[in-house]
A = this chain, B = another copy of it.
């Protein structure tokens, strides 16, 4: 167990965790959203972010503080908490973003970490190299080596009680991300930002974002708190948490508001396109779109930023509740229908079902079959694994409904798509207590057929008869030839 992070309830690779931040004297419950506060621009004051939105942690940029004389002096004099007016935990970025944008910055990892410690940051960040997507492998490897030197430098700095980020880079090479995750995890640093994913998110490359996260997670231990750096759109919180991310940071709430953009869990709207405010927050119940459009710029920006924060924090609570209820993937199912690229992201997540399965609890709430994608959920894989461990003898009927007449069997197992076969004794166990639609689909039937195949292959001495309710060829082709098949009408 890492010193400052404790994992509690889990669902898929998502979890409720507790990040202790000793310097701030607070424990932050994750998944957590860290609003980004620009030290020069306060759309909403940090104290209001704390009191009205319940933020326990925020993030600001120590490089901006460092390079602005006035801010630097005040921060060194009274400390960052006083400067911002915030009592919770403050994470400071290092200027790596500026490095990536402008090619050069004038601080080293040692200098910026010492400065962060001096101004009272609770979590500091070394100067890593945020390698963008799609670069050559050589460049990704070379820059990763620089990032790894920065982590090594960071270990040698006396940072006192301040926690330190260990960013994971590697561009769009999942194996490099895995390597980077492994070496970051091997340091004595504390929090693990997956870096340089913003370009992927900005161009809706959610599938690749998931592959990058999955790679990083393979390298990191399960007890590592993971920050998806730059991820602030509530549309993807559920997906990213299900992939194992714990911390998000939102500059979007303020930047989007400046541009009259309105966040929702299904995407982004522009205020000028809205005839209605599709949200239940205090801003949206007290105003109409016309009303907001007519407000002075500053007030409109502040109200939109408040809406954006309300919707973002509500989604974080929804994600946490889903983890507690054991239906996080059901929430992801819904969010995956926000945009075709989010569907790609969910499909990519399910490509990693076996990786998720290793963290997913064995028993949760009720499994809901909600789409063809549900057939690939980790719970289905685990069930197939589990039934291969049983040893039925003689002749076993596997049936979706009725029992074909005139035959006798040593055992009759139920078959329920997408799970496949199981003895009745398991009926009341998760996920078999799940709910499936009356109108099933081929994906469920094919997954059930794969379950049949697994059981049959694991029991070469046993005879099997499969009574199915009109499965298509794509399902029946997965059933081994030695299984006798019969058509029955589903008895449900």
Binding site for B on A (CB under 8 A): 52-54, 207, 266, 269, 273-282, 284-285, 310-311, 313-314, 317-318, 320-322, 324-325, 330-331, 333-341, 343-344, 347-348, 368-373, 435-439, 441-443, 472, 474
Contacts and interface: CB of A to CB of B under 8 A. Distances in A.
Contact of A438 (B207, B280, B331): B207
A343 B280 contact: no
A322 to B, nearest CB: 8
Contacts of A371: 337, 343, 371-373
Contacts of A441: 372
B369 A340 contact: yes
A280 B284 CA distance: 10
Contacts of A335: 334
A280 B278 contact: no
A336 B207 contact: no
Contacts of A348: 439
Contacts of A344: 437-439
Contact of A370 (B53, B314, B336, B443): B336
Contact of A340 (B53, B274, B338, B368): B368
B341 A437 contact: yes
19 contacts: A207-B438, A269-B321, A276-B318, A279-B314, A279-B318, A280-B281, A280-B311, A281-B281, A281-B282, A285-B310, A334-B337, A334-B338, A339-B435, A340-B368, A343-B369, A347-B437, A347-B439, A348-B439, A472-B474
A280 B337 contact: no
Contacts of A334: 266, 334-335, 337-338
Closest 4 CB pairs of A and B: A278-B318, A280-B314, A276-B317, A280-B281
Nearest to A279: B314
Chain B CB within 10 A, most for which of A280, A335, A348: A280
A472 B277 CA distance: 43
A359 to B, nearest CB: 20
Contacts of A53: 285
Contacts of A325: 273
B340 A435 contact: yes
Contacts of A52: 285
Contacts of A337: 330, 333-334, 336-337, 370-371
Contacts of A269: 321
A280 B348 CA distance: 30
A8 to B, nearest CB: 11
A252 to B, nearest CB: 16
Contacts of A472: 474
Nearest to A281: B280
A442 B53 CA distance: 44
Contacts of A279: 280, 314, 317-318
Nearest to A277: B317
A343 to B, nearest CB: 5
A435 to B, nearest CB: 5
A449 to B, nearest CB: 15
Contacts of A331: 266
Contacts of A339: 368, 370, 435
A230 B56 CA distance: 42
